[in-house]
Structure 1
Amino acid sequence: MTRDALHIGRYSESGRVYLITTATVDRRPVFEDFACARCVVGEMRYLVEQGGVASLAWVVMPDHLHWLLQLGEHADLSDTIRALKGRSAHRLGGPLWQRAFHDRALREEEDLVAAARYIVANPLRAGLVTRLGDYPHRDAIWL
């Protein structure tokens, strides 16, 4: 599948909230390593600081990332995720992410807090921790 084929039907809308899921190549548990996970967190923060997105909630799991974000006025969803993946892969020394990512635009009437709770509770459901506060690679603006 070509890169362009992966983007067919993808639409970026300024101000829209998106739930992004992206996985590592071959679902390797790269982010079991604390420093690798924090690298991804740092790159998400960088994109927020650049003004392209607002970060609402996220969790870095051992082999994937969930990120609830709101696009800024002139941001493009594909460009934003490409920047996150490219910068983090470069910092960590090579191929890191699967080429594609899954996105879902949330409707205005959807409960963003419920979506954020679902995201940050992933480590509990996966059995990585018994208390949410014990997992270091997650955050939400409502926590």
Structure 2
Amino acid sequence: MMERPVRKHVRLKHYDYNQNGGYFITICTRGRIPLFREGDRLSAAGMIARACAEEISNHFPEIVVDLYCIMPDHVHFLFMAVGTPYMASVRSNPTISKVVQQYKAAVSRRIGRPVWQRSFYDHIIRNPTDLEETRRYIAQNPLKRMNSNG
């Protein structure tokens, strides 16, 4: 009998992912298959990923998509949760996991098959310098890739 690998928990244990703040998210395709780009252009699947990214704030008004970048085999997001901090009588922010889950489901549904790895990577934005560095990284990521491929 083959032993299943132990999954690493990638979320911070005691962090409330429904609080206001910035979140740098990376979601990868299953097997890191380069599904979203054909050369320097978005593929049909990439256009679906972009359309779904543009719709996130329609479904989650508490989430602002500050910036995103669609790479061949992954997508980067900078989400800003700007809703009302949790109070029992007021609707709170959705968790970042819920937003990512809905995005991944929408893209897979429109493409017609599952396309994502399980889970996602996150980094909580800690201060204004971190925010600017993250914005710069997301904006420059496609350029770095093009330059490294010749």
What is the TM-score when the length of structure 2 is the normalising length?
Answer: 0.75
Does the 8 A contact of 2:30 with 2:116 survive in 1?
yes
Does the 8 A contact of 2:11 with 2:122 survive in 1?
no
Is the partner of 1:18 in helix, strand or coil? Answer: strand
In the alignment, residue 92 of structure 1 is paired with which amino acid?
I
Residue equivalent to 1:69: 79
Could you list the per-position Cα deviations for residues 77-135 of structure 1 after superposition, in whole angstroms to 9, with x for gaps in the alignment? 110000000110010011100011000100133342332121121111112699xxxxx
Shift of 1:40: 1.1
In the alignment, residue 67 of structure 1 is paired with which amino acid?
F
Q: Is the radius of gyration larger for structure 1 or structure 2?
A: 2
Which of these residues, 1, 26, 29, is aligned with residue 24 of structure 1?
29
In the alignment, residue 140 of structure 2 is paired with which amino acid?
A
Structure 2: how far apart are the matches of 1:27 and 1:111?
27
> Which ranges of structure 2 fall in alignment gaps of 5 or more residues?
84-92
| Aligned: 1:40 with 2:49 | yes
> Which ranges of structure 1 fall in alignment gaps of 5 or more residues?
131-143
Residue equivalent to 1:55: 65
| Structure 1 residues 118 and 75: alpha-carbon distance in aligned structure 2, compared to 1, 3 A threshold | same
Identity across matched positions, percent:
26
Is the partner of 1:20 in helix, strand or coil? Answer: strand
Which of these residues, 88, 105, 109, is aligned with residue 124 of structure 2?
105
Does the 8 A contact of 1:123 with 1:129 survive in 2?
no
| Structure 1 residues 27 and 128: alpha-carbon distance in aligned structure 2, compared to 1, 3 A threshold | farther
Is the partner of 2:146 in helix, strand or coil? Answer: coil
